[in-house]
Amino acid sequence: MSLSIRRAGTGDIAAVAGLHIASWRVAYVDILDPAYLAGPIEADRTAVWTERLAAPRDDLTVLLAETRDGSPVGFVCVIHAEDPPWGRLVDNLHARPDLRGTGIGARLLAAAAAIICHGDMHLWVYAANDGARRFYARQGGREVDIQASDKVGSAGKPLWRVHWPDARRQALADATPMTISPLPG
Ligand X SMILES: CC(C)(COP(=O)(O)OP(=O)(O)OC[C@H]1O[C@@H](n2cnc3c(N)ncnc32)[C@H](O)[C@@H]1OP(=O)(O)O)[C@@H](O)C(=O)NCCC(=O)NCCS
**Angle formed at CA 130 by CA 15 and CA 14, multiple of 5 degrees:** 5
Minimum CB distance to ligand X, residue 120 (Å): 17
DSSP for residue 142: E
**What is the signed CA dihedral for 12, 118, 175, 60, rounded to 10 degrees?**
-10
| 27 contributes a contact to ligand X by CB under 6 A | yes
Only segment of 43-51, 52-60, 87-95, 145-153 that touches ligand X (CB under 6 A) = 87-95
Cis peptide, bond prior to residue 85, ω within 30 of zero:
yes
Minimum CB distance to ligand X, residue 73 (Å): 10
Q: What is the torsional sign of CA 25, 31, 35, 36?
A: negative
Minimum CB distance to ligand X, residue 148 (Å): 16
Near ligand X in 133-162, by CB under 6 A: 134-135
Q: Find the binder of ligand X among 65, 104, 112, 171 (CB under 6 A).
A: 104
Residues engaged in binding ligand X (CB under 6 A): 23, 27, 93-95, 100-106, 123, 125, 129, 131-132, 134-135
